[in-house]
């Protein structure tokens, strides 16, 4: 059985958006029980906006780095599945083989358009075609992955789509906040589709401000992503440091308020490596 599925059955799960091994390690050390391989953050780490400009392979490479640094369950963003139903099934298989525990796939036409980055509504696939992609993924991976169907639809259309996606094999539904603008509309979606919801508590959105854990549990949200909080925090800190250095501030002053070098070595596990070397490597090899 997928252990992450059991975790979801027990209580609301929070998953911060990570994009590489360091952020995955930091999230685990902070005490989170799951991670989100955030497409927004992975795209940003490549210096690109979240407009499906990177390839499936680049996304998969990032997920493998995340998995290599942490054993926590990973919820992966597979965008539109990178093609039709057959492509989506192959994508899901490769992500499952990489060790992820869940994937979410949207019903936009490719290339996708991030709803928090544009003002107009994106073009959606016909409902039957979108449901067919979910069915193809489910048939390919069986119970190996928790399959989350995302819809960028609005109102009643989104509810019809959610019901169809559940019938096709989705275990959770992810609406966008634009389509369901208050807690009651989310609760209605939960009643209509019959499965738990996943929400994206993207920084600076009303969902992040108003959806407390108590509210989310009450309306049937089982999984809450935190996709951009640490990305924005890291970017702010890096910008501040780089601007100060470029302006001629002494490096010692720039780093004065940051963790010390020794602390960072502990964070990334340097002592663990030394301990393993001492355990498994003969002293003569260590000297070499």
For residue 203, the number of C-alpha atoms closer than 13 Å in the C-beta half-sphere is 11
Rg, Å, the chain Cα set = 21
Q: Report pLDDT for 1.
A: 40
Q: Report pLDDT for 118.
A: 64
Q: Report pLDDT for 52.
A: 86
180 vs 71, 174, 184, 203, CA distance in Å?
A: 34, 11, 9, 17
Under 8 Å between Cβ of 104 and 134: no
Q: What angle do CA 36, 41, 47 make, to 5 degrees?
A: 155
Cα-based torsion angle of the residue sequence 18, 16, 151, 166 in order, rounded to the nearest 10 degrees: 110
How far apart, in whole angstroms, are the C-alpha atoms of residue 140 and residue 142? 6
Burial bucket for residue 196 (CB in 10 Å: 0-12, 13-18, 19+)? middle
Helix (H) or strand (E) holding 234: helix 229-246
- Token readout for 152 is 């960028």
The tens-digit pLDDT sequence of the chain (288 residues) is 469 999 999 999 999 999 999 999 999 999 999 999 999 999 999 999 998 899 999 999 999 999 999 999 999 999 999 999 999 999 999 999 999 999 999 999 987 777 666 667 789 999 999 999 999 999 999 999 999 999 999 999 999 999 999 999 999 999 998 889 999 999 999 999 999 999 999 999 999 999 999 999 999 999 999 999 999 999 999 999 999 999 999 999 999 999 999 999 999 999 999 999 999 997 765 555
Q: Which of 3, 11, 20, 50 is catalytic?
A: 50
DSSP classification of residue 52: S
125 vs 80, 112, 114, CA distance in Å?
A: 10, 11, 15
Active site residue 50: yes
* CATH top-level class of 3-233: alpha beta
Predicted TM-score (pTM) of the model is 0.93
Under 8 Å between Cβ of 172 and 198: yes
Measure CA 174 to chain center: 12
Helices 127-141/85-97 angle, 10° precision: 30
Question: Tokens 């369950």 — which residue?
Answer: 73
Q: Report pLDDT for 283.
A: 73
What is the domain partition of the chain in residue ranges? 3-233, 258-288
């Amino acid at each position: 059985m997928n252990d992450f599925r059991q975790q979801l059955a027990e209580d609301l799960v929070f998953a911060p958006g990570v994009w590489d091994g360091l952020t995955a390690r930091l999230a685990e050390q902070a005490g989170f029980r799951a991670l989100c391989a955030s497409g927004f953050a992975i795209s940003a780490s490549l210096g690109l906006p979240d407009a499906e400009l990177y390839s499936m392979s680049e996304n998969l490479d990032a997920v493998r780095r995340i998995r290599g640094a942490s054993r926590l369950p990973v919820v992966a963003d597979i965008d539109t599945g990178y093609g039709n139903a057959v492509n989506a099934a192959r994508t899901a298989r490769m992500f499952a083989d990489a060790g992820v525990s869940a994937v979410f796939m949207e019903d936009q036409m490719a290339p996708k358009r991030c709803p928090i980055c544009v003002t107009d509504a994106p073009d959606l696939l016909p409902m039957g075609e979108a449901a067919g992609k979910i069915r193809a993924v489910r048939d390919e991976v069986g119970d190996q992955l928790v399959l989350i169907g995302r819809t960028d639809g609005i109102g009643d259309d989104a509810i019809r789509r959610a019901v169809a996606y559940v019938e096709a094999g989705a275990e959770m539904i992810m609406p966008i906040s634009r389509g369901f603008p208050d807690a009651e509309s989310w609760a209605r979606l939960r009643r209509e589709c019959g499965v738990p919801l996943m929400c994206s508590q993207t920084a600076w959105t009303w969902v992040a401000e108003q959806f407390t854990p108590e509210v989310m549990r009450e309306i049937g949200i089982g999984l809450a992503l935190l996709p951009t909080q640490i990305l924005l925090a890291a970017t702010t800190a890096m910008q501040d440091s780089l601007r100060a250095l470029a302006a001629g501030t002494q490096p010692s002053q720039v780093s004065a308020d940051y963790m010390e070098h020794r602390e960072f070595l502990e964070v990334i596990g340097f002592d663990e490596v030394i301990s393993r070397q001492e355990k498994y490597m003969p002293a003569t090899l260590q000297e070499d």
